[in-house]
Structure formats: C-alpha cells, structure tokens
Amino acid sequence: MKAVIQRVSQASVTINEKIVASINSGLLVLLGVVDDDAQEDITWLSNKIVNMRIFPDVEGVMNNSIIDNHGDVILVSQFTLHANTKKGNRPSYIKAAKPDVAIPLYQDFIKRIESDLGKPIQTGEFGADMQVTLINDGPVTIIIDTKNKD
C-alpha cells in the first residue's frame, strides 16, 4: 500500500458536481493498493497515519497527531500512486490491484482507520472520476509505502 498524506486546513471531494466529502482541519489521504497487500499492511499503515506527529502543538512544533488534534480524515482511492514511469511517456499501472482485490482492501482500510481514529471518516468513491480540492496546511505532505517499512 502506498499513501500520500496531506495535512489540510480544508479539503473536499466532488463527484458529478456533488460534494461527497468535506472537512476542515485534518488529513487528506490518497491510497493506492497493489495485489500483494494484506491485512498487516492495513494495520501498519493505519496505525502510522493516525499516530504520525505532523500537527503543531501549542509551541508550534509538529508534535501532535490527528488523534491529538481531533481532526477529520478524507480517504480517496488512487491507483495512479503505483504508476511506473520508467519507460516512455505513458505511465503503466500494471502494479495497481484490480478492483476485485483493491475494493475489499480499501473497505477494510476504511474500517481500520475509523477504529484507530475512534470516529468515522469521509471517503471518495472507489473508481469514480473525482475532483479533489484542498488547502495544504504547512505545506505538509508525507508519502508512505508499506513495502518500505523496515
């Protein structure tokens, strides 16, 4: 699994001109799934995201997590995170999991992050054409790949 985590002061997801998710302070998480991802990837990545200290404390030092800040999360599936750009100019998405594998893992990830966070999150729609808007706060953008956790 690969995730791009962005600390935001505002974010939303629109599908067919309808806003389906909207938050103020929190995290926008873009999530890409590959075929060999498993429950241990979900557990590790969710724990990492909700406990990552990327929010400022009272002294302005990045010392607080999304849990500490009681922030919200929008999770958006994004297979293009696994693009291979080594050859030519057209990215290859062969490493990205097909929907029959990716959808159950995405849904399990939603449940896990809600459990770890202690409240519901908002999401985009798997496979939909989405417009994602955000105000990146900081800016703070972190990329995590569960294949590089050692």
- Report domain extents, the chain: 2-148
Q: Which of 39, 80, 131, 133 is catalytic?
A: 80
Is position 78 annotated as part of the catalytic site? yes
pLDDT of residue 149: 79
Q: Which of 6, 55, 79, 109 is catalytic?
A: 79
| SS3 (DSSP) at 65 | coil
Round to whole Å and give the CA distance between 28 and 31.
Answer: 10
Whether pLDDT at 150 is above 90: no
Q: Give yes or no for a contact between 9 and 150, defined as CB atoms under 8 angstroms apart.
A: no
CA 96 from chain centre, in angstroms, equals 15
Write down the CATH superfamily of domain 2-148: D-tyrosyl-tRNA(Tyr) deacylase (3.50.80.10)
For the ranges 40-49, 71-80, 85-94, which has the lowest average pLDDT?
85-94
Q: Is 98 left (phi over 0), alpha (psi -120 to 50) or beta?
A: beta
Mean pLDDT over 88-106 rounds to 94
Is position 79 annotated as part of the catalytic site? yes
Tell me the residue type at 43: T
pLDDT of residue 12: 98
Record the pTM. Answer: 0.95
Whether pLDDT at 9 is above 80: yes
Q: Which of 78, 122, 123, 146 is catalytic?
A: 78
Helix axis angle for 99-117 and 39-51, nearest 10°, is 40
Is position 55 annotated as part of the catalytic site? no
What would the pLDDT profile of 59-72 be if each residue is shown by its tens digit?
999 999 999 999 99
